[in-house]
Structure 1
Amino acid sequence: MSADAFEQRSLSAGIVGDAVKQVTRKVPQGEPPPWPANAELQVVGKDVPRMDALDKVTGRARYTFDVQLPGMLYARTLNSTLPHARIKSIDTSRAEKHPGVRAVHVLDRLLMAAELRDPGDEAREPYPIVRFTGQPIAAVAATSARAAEAALALIRVEYEPMPHVTEFEAAIDPGSPPVFPGPTEQQATAGGGGAAKGLPQKGNLRGPSKGGSRGEIERGFKEADVVVEGEYRTQVQTHTPLEPHGVVADWRDEELTIYASTQHVMSVRDEAAEIFKLPKEKIRAVSDYTGGGFGAKYGIGNYGTLAIHLSRKARAPVRLVLDRREEHVSVGNRPSTLQRLKIGAKRDGSLTAIELHSFGTGGVAAGAGVGMCHHSMYPCPNVSIEHYDVFTNAGPCAAFRGPGQTQGIFAFEQAIDAVAARLGIDPVAMRDKIDTRDADDVRARAAERRIGAEKIGWSRRRAPGSDAGPIKRGIGMAQSMWPYIVNSYTTCEIRIAGDGTVEAFCGTQDIGTGTRTVFAQVVAEELGLRAEDVRVHVGDSRFPPGPPSGGSRVTSSLTPAARNAAHAAARDIASRVAPLLKAPPDELIFKNGRIERRGDSTISVGFAEALRRAGIETLVHRADRRDDYEGYARKAGELNISPHAIGGVQFAEVCVDTQTGAVKVERIVAVHDCGRPINPKLVESQILGGVTQGVSYALYEDRRLDAATGVQLNANIDQYKIVGSRETPHIEVHLIELLGGQSSTDARGVAEPANVATAAAIANAFFNATGKRIYTLPMTPANVLAALRAE
Structure 2
Amino acid sequence: MDTRKEKFPYGIPGHNLSEVEREIPVEEPPVWPINDKLKVIGKRVTRIDALEKVTGKAIYTSDIKLPGMLYAKILRSNVPHATISSIDISKAKSLPGVHAIHLIENTPKEGEENSTGKYPMVKYVGQPLAGVAAESLEIAKEAVSLIKVNYEKKPFVIDLEAAMELNAPIVFDAPITKQQDGGDVGETHDGSKGEGNVRGPSTSSFFGGPRGNLEEGFKEADVVVERTYRTQVHTHMPLETHGVVVDWNADVMTVYASTQNTAAVRNEMASVFNLPKSKVRVICEFMGGGFGAKHSAGSFGPMAANLAKKTGRPIWLMLDRQEEHLAEGNRPNSIQYLKIGAKKDGTLTGIQQRSHGTAGVGLGAGVGRIAQILYTCPNFATEQYDVLTNAGPGAAWRAPGNVQGAFGLEQAIDEIAEKLNLDPLSYRDHIDTSEVRKVERQRGAELFGWSRRKPAGSSKGIVKKGLGVGQSTWPRFVSLDSSVEIKIHKGGGVEIRSSVQDIGTGTKTILAQVVAEELGLQVKDIKVNIGDTFFPVGPGSGGSVVTGSITPPTRNAAFEAKTALLKLVAKKWETDSSELVMADGQVNHKTNTDLKMSFKEATKLMRTSQISKIASRSDDYGGFQQPWGLAYGDLGSVQFAEVSVNTDTGFVKVDRVVAAHSCGRPLNIGQLESQINGGVIQGVSYALYENRVMDNSTGHMMNANVDQYKVPFSMEIPEIETVIVEEYSGRSSTDAYGIGEPANIATAAAIANAVYNAIGVRLYEIPITPSSILKALSKVS
CA distance in 1, matches of 2:496, 2:726: 26
**In structure 1, what is the equivalent of residue 91 of structure 2?**
94
Structure 1 residues 659-687: Cα deviation after superposition (integer angstroms, max 9, x where no partner): 21111000000010011111111111110
**Mapped contact 1:775–1:787 kept (Cα < 8 A):** no
Shift of 1:562: 0.3
CA distance in 2, matches of 1:190, 1:690: 19
Secondary structure of residue in 1 paired with 2:390: coil
**In structure 2, what is the equivalent of residue 756 of structure 1?**
745
**In structure 1, what is the equivalent of residue 725 of structure 2?**
736
Unpaired runs of 5+ residues, structure 1, are: 437-441
Shift of 1:469: 2.3
Shift of 1:205: 0.9
Aligned positions, number: 775
Q: Are 2:638 and 1:649 equivalent residues in the alignment? A: yes
**Mapped contact 2:231–2:765 kept (Cα < 8 A):** yes
Q: Are 2:10 and 1:18 equivalent residues in the alignment? A: no
Q: What is the identity, as a one-letter code, of the residue corresponding to 1:195?
A: T
**In structure 2, what is the equivalent of residue 677 of structure 1?**
666
TM-score if structure 1 supplies the norm length? 0.96
CA distance in 2, matches of 1:341, 1:601: 68
Q: Are 2:422 and 1:425 equivalent residues in the alignment? A: yes
**In structure 2, what is the equivalent of residue 34 of structure 1?**
31
Q: Are 2:762 and 1:773 equivalent residues in the alignment? A: yes
Structure 1 residues 526-545: Cα deviation after superposition (integer angstroms, max 9, x where no partner): 11100110000011011000
Q: Are 2:193 and 1:196 equivalent residues in the alignment? A: no
Change in CA separation of 1:523 and 1:748 when aligned onto 2, cut-off 3 Å: same
1:278-677 matches, within 5 Å, as 278-436=275-433, 442-599=434-591, 601-613=593-605, 615=607, 617-636=609-628, 640-677=629-666
TM-score if structure 2 supplies the norm length? 0.97
Unpaired runs of 5+ residues, structure 2, are: none
Structure 1 residues 314-341: Cα deviation after superposition (integer angstroms, max 9, x where no partner): 1110011001100111000000100111
CA distance in 1, matches of 2:469, 2:333: 23
Shift of 1:155: 0.9
Q: What is the identity, as a one-letter code, of the residue corresponding to 1:571?
A: T
Structure 1 residues 685-741: Cα deviation after superposition (integer angstroms, max 9, x where no partner): 110111111111111000101111111111111000011111000000111111110
**Mapped contact 1:190–1:299 kept (Cα < 8 A):** no
Q: What is the identity, as a one-letter code, of the residue corresponding to 2:121?
A: I
CA distance in 2, matches of 1:192, 1:428: 28
CA distance in 1, matches of 2:319, 2:427: 48
Structure 1 residues 178-210: Cα deviation after superposition (integer angstroms, max 9, x where no partner): 111233222465677773226522111111111
Secondary structure of residue in 1 paired with 2:478: strand
Shift of 1:216: 1.1
CA distance in 2, matches of 1:475, 1:15: 27
Shift of 1:349: 1.0
Shift of 1:228: 0.4
Secondary structure of residue in 1 paired with 2:623: coil
**In structure 2, what is the equivalent of residue 439 of structure 1?**
none
Structure 1 residues 15-51: Cα deviation after superposition (integer angstroms, max 9, x where no partner): 1232111112221221111100111111111111000
CA distance in 2, matches of 1:114, 1:310: 16
Q: What is the identity, as a one-letter code, of the residue corresponding to 1:707?
A: N
Q: What is the identity, as a one-letter code, of the residue corresponding to 1:271?
A: E
**In structure 2, what is the equivalent of residue 127 of structure 1?**
119
Shift of 1:642: 1.3
Q: What is the identity, as a one-letter code, of the residue corresponding to 1:395?
A: G
**Mapped contact 2:7–2:31 kept (Cα < 8 A):** no
Shift of 1:267: 0.5
Q: What is the identity, as a one-letter code, of the residue corresponding to 1:240?
A: M
Secondary structure of residue in 1 paired with 2:169: coil
CA distance in 1, matches of 2:457, 2:108: 49
Change in CA separation of 1:516 and 1:59 when aligned onto 2, cut-off 3 Å: same
CA distance in 2, matches of 1:108, 1:254: 25
Shift of 1:658: 1.5
**Mapped contact 1:501–1:533 kept (Cα < 8 A):** yes
CA distance in 2, matches of 1:247, 1:33: 42
Shift of 1:603: 2.5
Comparing 245-254 and 196-205, the one that deviates more: 196-205
Comparing 466-475 and 645-654, the one that deviates more: 466-475
Structure 1 residues 334-373: Cα deviation after superposition (integer angstroms, max 9, x where no partner): 0010011110011111110001111010011111000101
Change in CA separation of 1:734 and 1:347 when aligned onto 2, cut-off 3 Å: same
Comparing 256-265 and 20-29, the one that deviates more: 20-29
Shift of 1:613: 4.1
CA distance in 1, matches of 2:626, 2:160: 34
CA distance in 2, matches of 1:313, 1:586: 60
**Mapped contact 1:653–1:667 kept (Cα < 8 A):** yes
Q: What is the identity, as a one-letter code, of the residue corresponding to 2:290?
A: G
Secondary structure of residue in 2 paired with 1:695: helix
Q: Are 2:59 and 1:66 equivalent residues in the alignment? A: no
CA distance in 2, matches of 1:60, 1:191: 34
Structure 1 residues 619-643: Cα deviation after superposition (integer angstroms, max 9, x where no partner): 001111101012111244xxx1113
1:170-249 matches, within 5 Å, as 170-187=162-179, 189=181, 195-197=188-190, 199-211=192-204, 212-249=209-246
CA distance in 2, matches of 1:188, 1:556: 25
CA distance in 1, matches of 2:703, 2:648: 27
**In structure 2, what is the equivalent of residue 782 of structure 1?**
771
**Mapped contact 2:32–2:733 kept (Cα < 8 A):** yes
Q: What is the identity, as a one-letter code, of the residue corresponding to 2:625?
A: A
Shift of 1:140: 0.2
Change in CA separation of 1:601 and 1:92 when aligned onto 2, cut-off 3 Å: farther
Change in CA separation of 1:188 and 1:213 when aligned onto 2, cut-off 3 Å: farther
**Mapped contact 2:180–2:395 kept (Cα < 8 A):** no
Shift of 1:594: 0.5
Q: What is the identity, as a one-letter code, of the residue corresponding to 1:179?
A: V
**Mapped contact 2:179–2:364 kept (Cα < 8 A):** no
Structure 1 residues 133-192: Cα deviation after superposition (integer angstroms, max 9, x where no partner): 111111100011111111112211100000011111111111111111233222465677
Change in CA separation of 1:738 and 1:176 when aligned onto 2, cut-off 3 Å: same
**Mapped contact 1:356–1:386 kept (Cα < 8 A):** yes
Root-mean-square deviation (Å): 1.7
Q: What is the identity, as a one-letter code, of the residue corresponding to 1:611?
A: T
CA distance in 1, matches of 2:593, 2:272: 59
Secondary structure of residue in 1 paired with 2:275: coil
**In structure 2, what is the equivalent of residue 719 of structure 1?**
708
Change in CA separation of 1:741 and 1:97 when aligned onto 2, cut-off 3 Å: same
Comparing 203-212 and 345-354, the one that deviates more: 203-212
CA distance in 2, matches of 1:338, 1:75: 39
Q: What is the identity, as a one-letter code, of the residue corresponding to 1:473?
A: K
Q: Are 2:73 and 1:76 equivalent residues in the alignment? A: yes
